Amino acid sequence: MRDLPVRVLATGLGAGYSPFAPGTAGTVVAIPLFLLLSQWGSWGVFAGLAITAAVGVPLAGRMEVLTGVKDPKPVVIDEIAGYLLTMIGSPPDALHVLSGFFLFRVFDVLKPPPVRSLERAFAGGLGVVADDLMAGAYSWACLWILRTYLF
């Protein structure tokens, strides 16, 4: 029971236990969080990202210990942090929310260099979170380009 808060937070309130695409389910959980944080502008989203990443590293590391698995599938706090990074500076409208969601999922799944190497370079929770932050950085850059030149 003492690890229940760890499990609840690390799995995005249980979204990571989805039998189908837990990472996608975790990213879906990040959408209402982004919408809430965006009420305080980019600084609100950035603060939410910083807190999520800072808390996510030890939570993900603890889940690795609890499950005995490196980067356990139910852990989605890293996807939440990655999506929040993707959305910094974006307005909270349907076009940007869905574009950011799609871009983040593509980069998180494909893991182009150096995304995959970050996962391997760092042990424990830092490795779990670092690759999703890099995927979020790629997604942020693409969304910025789209926002600047197309939207």
Task: Check if the beta carbon of residue 33 is closer than 8 Å to that of residue 47.
Answer: no
CA 39/CA 22 separation, integer angstroms: 27
pLDDT tens-digit series, residues 17-51: 999 999 999 999 999 999 999 999 999 999 999 99
Instruction: State pTM to two decimals.
Output: 0.96
Q: What is the pLDDT of residue 39?
A: 97
Structure tokens at 142: 């693409």
CA 104/CA 117 separation, integer angstroms: 17
Amino acid letter for position 83: Y
Count helices and strands (H / E) in the chain: 7, 0
Task: Check if the beta carbon of residue 136 is closer than 8 Å to that of residue 84.
Answer: yes
Q: Where are the beta strands (DSSP E) in 8-61?
A: none
Q: What is the pLDDT of residue 44?
A: 98
More confident residue, 126 or 2: 126
Q: What is the pLDDT of residue 118?
A: 86
How many degrees, rounded to 5, is the angle at CA 138 between CA 53 and CA 46? 35
